[in-house]
Amino acid sequence: MLLLAAAGCAQERFVKPVDEANLNASFLVFRTKLIAATERRDAAYILSILDPKIDLSFGGDAGVADFKRMWKINSKNSEFWKEFLPVIKNGGTFWKGEKGERVFYAPYSFDSFPQDLDAFMYFVIFGSNVNLRESPNTNAKIVAQLSYNIVEVESDPDSEAGKIRNERGWSKVKTLGGLTGWVKNEFVRSPIDYRAGFEKKRGVWKMVAFIAGD
| 149 in the same domain as 174 | yes
Is the residue at 3 inside a domain? no
Q: Could you report the per-residue pLDDT of 60-108, keeping only the tens digit for each?
A: 999 999 999 999 999 989 999 999 999 999 999 999 877 778 999 999 9
| 121 in the same domain as 107 | no
Q: Could you report the per-residue pLDDT of 133-171, keeping only the tens digit for each?
A: 999 999 999 999 999 999 999 989 999 999 999 999 999
Alpha-carbon torsion angle 133, 136, 137, 139, nearest 10: -30
Per the structure, the complete domain to which residue 46 belongs is given by: 21-112+194-201+207-211
List Cβ neighbours of 207 (8 Å cut-off, separation of 6 or more). Answer: 49, 50, 51, 54, 196, 197, 198
The 10 Å Cβ neighbour count of residue 12 is: 19
Is the residue at 11 inside a domain? no
| 163 in the same domain as 93 | no
Band the pLDDT of 1: cuts 50, 70, 90: very low
| 121 in the same domain as 70 | no
- 25-39 and 79-88 helices cross at what angle (nearest 10)? 150
Sheet holding 102-106, edge to edge: 50-55, 204-211, 195-201, 102-106, 93-96
Element of type H or E holding 32? helix 25-39
| 86 in the same domain as 56 | yes
| 122 in the same domain as 105 | no
Domain tally for the chain? 2
Q: Please state the φ and ψ torsions of residue 205, each to the nearest 5 degrees.
A: -75, 135
Say how many CA atoms lie within 13 Å of 35 toward its Cβ. Answer: 14
Q: What would the mean pLDDT of 12-27 be, rounded to a whole number?
A: 97
CATH number at residue 147: 2.30.30.40
Which of 35, 23, 3 is closest to 148 using CA atoms?
3
CA 11 from centroid of its chain's CA atoms? 24
Cβ proximity of 84 and 34 under 8 Å: no
Cβ proximity of 35 and 166 under 8 Å: no
Is the residue at 146 inside a domain? yes
> Is the whole model's pTM more than 0.95, yes or no?
no
| 32 in the same domain as 78 | yes
